[in-house]
Structure 1
Amino acid sequence: MPVVHPRRLALIGGGFSTDDDRLLDDWVLGQARTPRPKVCFVPTASGDAPAYIEQFLTAFRSRPDCEPSVLPLFRRELDDDSLRRFLLAQDVVYVGGGNTANLLAVWRTHGIDRLLHEAYDLGTLLCGISAGANCWAEGSHTDSFGPLGCLPDGLGLLPGSVCPHYDNEPGRRPSYQAAVATGALPAGWALEDGVGALFTDGLLTEAVTRFPSAHLYRVEPDRLSGVSERALPCRLLTAVS
């Protein structure tokens, strides 16, 4: 019989690009299927910004517990077969922040969307921050077009919608709640910065936070009030001494 792998993805409200304590990145690597995972950074949403790539490499090359690499697409070097082999060999695909709409368009042009579906089914952990969290869901709350708005056009690996930077950017909370209340976006998950959420086969299996005050929320339409918001318990991450 074929081996059935748990399909897992993580939404991250931080990591190497914003945090100095490495707590969320430690947590992500701890979810990988191997003790020394191959971790591929995909910086498409930032236009493969060199400074962002260097920030990732600086943070992860110094770690003995992983093998980091980068997948650039704006100056693509791999043919289709090599690209598939490379992505399917990764234990973790870590997607950076930036413009969600542009990210999805570029991925679809190069067939990355299909390869990520394949990697997900084979047990690769998919994760990311901001746009790199938005992309996995059916829809997301984004500023890809300037003002905050809805993008009901994600990869659909995670049922529902995602809103990053919840309560940490002006207007995020009321705008996302309005989108869910009106049906512009399906019910979903709102992350404050500092939070991580792990999903296995589409179901929430763990939520963690760097701060006692930062939360993961479930936001759903409500027949009486228009929308309901529920804060979910999060395990507090602490540094290993």
Structure 2
Amino acid sequence: MMRFVTVCLLVLPCLASVAWTAPALAQADRCPKLVAKNPFLQSLETRALPAAYLQPRQVGLTYIGHSTFLIETTGGVTVATDYNDYVRPDIVPRVATMNRAHMTHYSLHPDPGIEHVLKGWRDDRDPVRYDMEVGDLWIGNLQTNIRDWEGGTIRNGNSIFIFRAADLCIAHLGHLHHLLTKQDLGALGRIDIVLAPVDGSYTLDVDGMVEVLKALESPVVIPMHYFNQGTLNRFLERFSSSQYEIRREEFPTLVFSRETLPIKPTVIVLPGR
């Protein structure tokens, strides 16, 4: 029997991040500020869902592992985030996004069946900008800087990728190494679901990540890039006394819609495959 999880929450403003001076999205392009109707999460049995099992105005999200998620739209568009040669979904996605930090976040040999391979950096360190539609999915990015192994700075080495489908905004923070500025938050706009690295060392430290997430005010936070349960638990402890609810799911796939976002901000822990 297939199982899936439907989720809910208060929809707050899409906030942002910039290493390049890009204008904020036009107001007409941003997700409208709405309040979800349903005050609680509903759970149903499921495994990873092909797009054919999604209902209209839904988005499927499956945690593959490390920093890789599979995003699926009702129009059949599939995206693998931080696509690499070590952790991959079982299918060849239509879109693959990558980040520069190291080789668990990018691939030198992506599957030739991928239609769009989106690198979150340029080798000359100039900004790379995406503003594209693939079927019923819009994809944009906001660049941030990363540290190199000697402690120096690689400008524009990371992209926060933003995905919009079914009136939902999903942000993948990638290998975020620093706090977001007010300009960053303003450029992102409202983010409904944020996929956040919480290892606390290779990326931003735990206190810094908590600060970023609270500034984003996203209804749903999904941790990634945490290596072991001890690291994950340290991050969750920082939220235990805050306004966030903590939920652990048995299965790696969630189905989101605007109507079923949680009313109370929620950290949802998914098992990686």
TM range (shorter): 0.3 to 0.5
Of structures 1 and 2, the one scoring higher in RCO (CA 8 A, sep 6+) is 2
Q: Given the two structures, how large is their TM-score scaled by the length of structure 2?
A: 0.40
Q: Given the two structures, how large is their TM-score scaled by the length of structure 1?
A: 0.44
